[in-house]
Structure 1
């Protein structure tokens, strides 16, 4: 009987395969073509997705380390065999890095990768017909490009200005810091009016007028450093523009750092979203927490026991400064409130 069943199953399979190979007609329920995609504001927005992935990588690929590890704000001691990493963090702490340092290379690469992504997506829009949402989307792309360029200019000074996505173009020479400053200012000035003036769940993580005005304010606030000429009045002007939108308000200091800050908090002006399922990559908490804090915060992964703050910097905060609560120090506890024991040792973090 078993043999007969196999013969029958084999015959049926052959018949099905044979039938499938001779009938190649398929019923198409929907399809995207050049004529129908993109054709709505939602579809326009979906095309910009790679830009925001690049924004995530900008801060995950060493720009933040490059900015902060040469200060007292982030200190990465070598712990036994951990965290030496070829001396990259020692170099930053003692200010002995070179132009070929890995953090410099990674920050440069991720920044210009973001700029290139903006140019690539922008080139895809050039041939599209005018539709609702096109002007706003192009403005968002250019403001995000200005955002990338702001960090590149702030970090490196004079950098190449690239506005076209063309792999055949030779490597451009660097522009002056003044030229980059003017380029950023021009893109912000020409595109901000096309952005949404609202800060809500729909615009969360995307450039809005408030974000562009704030970026312009930061640009002019530091104008004397960037160009040698102070521009305090323009910095004040753009700060007033942010306030006039009436979209933001100061709230609880710690609410800004909660996972749902975009849904509840009105203080953040621009956020780079991460999500445990849809937008992974946020590893800051893993880098800064002790191994034992996996039980404190019920984490699925053990932290790395790495970054901390220099003791002298920590001591600048007075005990009545609410910001001091952001640091973990003293006796540590698990999620149930019990004193933490790790490898038989009571976990006390000594500032």
Structure 2
């Protein structure tokens, strides 16, 4: 069958909520292309749905509402402030008053919109948890879950802002706590949810949390995973390291949870497969399968946010990162926004043979569903083929529209809507190996102690085992594994690298390690909130 595919191209304005302003795609000319094969059809797709419906659903739904995987909130401020990715200004596109340039260069201040929005997102989620607890109709297991869930949102606030209010009852206020007090609250709530006083020598036989694998609900392994993350960063939060506890908590998840690394033989059908493109694999295996649109039964994931394109919305990485014309590769319902790109140095930190490099990034010439070259009609180059370059010419004011590897770790599917189906891991086994390895190395004062755990992760990635380790080696390995999982800013701070200079970012002052308390919140507090030092 041969059909002639004729596109009459015209100037059109892109308007979408929450993304960026004045995105004008100027297209000129007329293009005719032969279309060979069948029109694309997309069968029934099961992405796992939006999670169970029960007495604690309203609280858990806040995981999707709190900026976990969409533009403008928690995920964005954690990621764009690190050396993983940037939102470049492309002429009139994506300037947005300079808020993302400030985030990248660490010149953010108390009136930065995403800094304020992220604060509000977390407190809205905490409010839902407080309401669920105050209702008085939860059993012991549900109560423990919601207390741990609320602790998770306070963990985010602890990490981002440090000095926040510990509000635990609906309709009440609280004084501003120190960062150490917030840490102590998060720790005590997680320990209480587990029914233990300490992870050292713990006995979970009386824990109200389940030992069953309940990926969309907090079980005892998810709570221990949260404690492992908390203890890993305790030195930053309180000045007192807690690495021994971090190792014990992570090790318990590894040894007792029944979870396995998704490696060779752990695969799912590839929902992005284009039948006419031979280079598209039929299946996604190992690391790539952990983050696929159909990852809802992945054996590595301990606790995840349940996303669904209809009933569990607010994951839109495809819209956030892809060039407008990449709509034709995945038959996306709407044109993407062409915002986020990976930094070249971060991309280049991967070995060429690293399977994670292929899974995490989209680079090179782009082709449509039939395998034909996609064109960027607004390009001023002689060759207007869409090619994602690994380099970016500048952060602002006229960054390349095709510059930077695109963020593909949470991979896409054919016929995708604006919202994605991929579950987002909060606790997964790969992270637990790296936490245990780092914690043990820091306790021993010898990074080589982490070799076994690091090489376990590297083996899955298809790269050779390391014979020795330094702190920089470990940080780089953790970055490669945890890309896009909102740990990079934390890791850079813990390793003393967050204030370093990197691409288009000068060295920044140490006070930038916490974000400012939003001015809007200070103004509304009646004097009960004060600003973090330096702002």
Structure-2 residue corresponding to 1:348: 387
Distance between the aligned counterparts of 2:147 and 2:300, measured in 1? 24
- Decide which structure has the larger Cα Rg and report it: 1
Contact 1:74 1:307 in 2 (8 A): yes
1:256 CA drift (Å): 1.5
SS at match of 1:261: coil
Distance between the aligned counterparts of 1:230 and 1:113, measured in 2? 31
1:229 CA drift (Å): 0.9
Structure-1 residue corresponding to 2:116: 105
Q: Does 1:52 align with 2:54?
A: no
Distance between the aligned counterparts of 1:245 and 1:159, measured in 2? 35
Structure-1 residue corresponding to 2:146: 141
Structure-2 residue corresponding to 1:194: 208
Answer 1 or 2: higher relative contact order, Cα 8 Å, separation at least 6.
Answer: 2
Q: Does 1:305 align with 2:343?
A: no
Deviations, residues 275-334 of structure 1 (Å, cap 9, x unaligned): 012112211111011112211112111111111012222222221222211211111112
Structure-1 residue corresponding to 2:177: 175
Structure-2 residue corresponding to 1:233: 244
Distance between the aligned counterparts of 1:205 and 1:286, measured in 2? 25
Distance between the aligned counterparts of 1:45 and 1:187, measured in 2? 24
Structure-2 residue corresponding to 1:151: 156
Distance between the aligned counterparts of 1:45 and 1:300, measured in 2? 28
Distance between the aligned counterparts of 1:150 and 1:309, measured in 2? 26
Contact 1:291 1:303 in 2 (8 A): yes
Q: Structure 1: 5+ residue runs without aligned partners?
A: 1-43
Contact 2:319 2:338 in 1 (8 A): yes
Deviations, residues 63-106 of structure 1 (Å, cap 9, x unaligned): 11111212221211111321111111111112111112111100
Structure-2 residue corresponding to 1:34: none
Structure-1 residue corresponding to 2:234: 223
Distance between the aligned counterparts of 1:183 and 1:87, measured in 2? 36
Q: Does 1:242 align with 2:275?
A: no
SS at match of 2:303: coil
Structure-2 residue corresponding to 1:258: 292
TM-score normalised over the length of structure 1: 0.80
Q: Structure 2: 5+ residue runs without aligned partners?
A: 1-51, 195-206, 263-285, 379-383, 391-535
Distance between the aligned counterparts of 1:205 and 1:291, measured in 2? 33
Residue of structure 1 aligned with 2:349, choices 316, 321, 324: 316
SS at match of 2:154: helix
Q: Give the alignment of 1:59-78 within 5 angstroms.
A: 59=68, 60=70, 61-78=72-89
Deviations, residues 227-268 of structure 1 (Å, cap 9, x unaligned): 1111111111111221232321111111111122122x1112
Distance between the aligned counterparts of 2:329 and 2:315, measured in 1? 18
SS at match of 1:308: strand
TM-score normalised over the length of structure 2: 0.53
Contact 1:274 1:282 in 2 (8 A): yes
Contact 2:215 2:301 in 1 (8 A): no
Distance between the aligned counterparts of 1:220 and 1:162, measured in 2? 22
Contact 1:197 1:245 in 2 (8 A): no
1:217 CA drift (Å): 0.6
Structure-1 residue corresponding to 2:46: none
Distance between the aligned counterparts of 2:374 and 2:356, measured in 1? 24
Contact 1:45 1:137 in 2 (8 A): no
Q: Which has the higher strand share?
A: 2
Structure-1 residue corresponding to 2:493: none
Distance between the aligned counterparts of 2:177 and 2:53, measured in 1? 31
Contact 1:77 1:306 in 2 (8 A): yes
Distance between the aligned counterparts of 1:210 and 1:338, measured in 2? 47
SS at match of 1:269: strand
1:45 CA drift (Å): 5.6
Distance between the aligned counterparts of 1:301 and 1:93, measured in 2? 28
Q: Which has the higher helix share?
A: 1
SS at match of 2:177: coil
RMSD: 1.7
**Number of equivalences:** 295
SS at match of 1:181: helix
Distance between the aligned counterparts of 1:225 and 1:217, measured in 2? 14
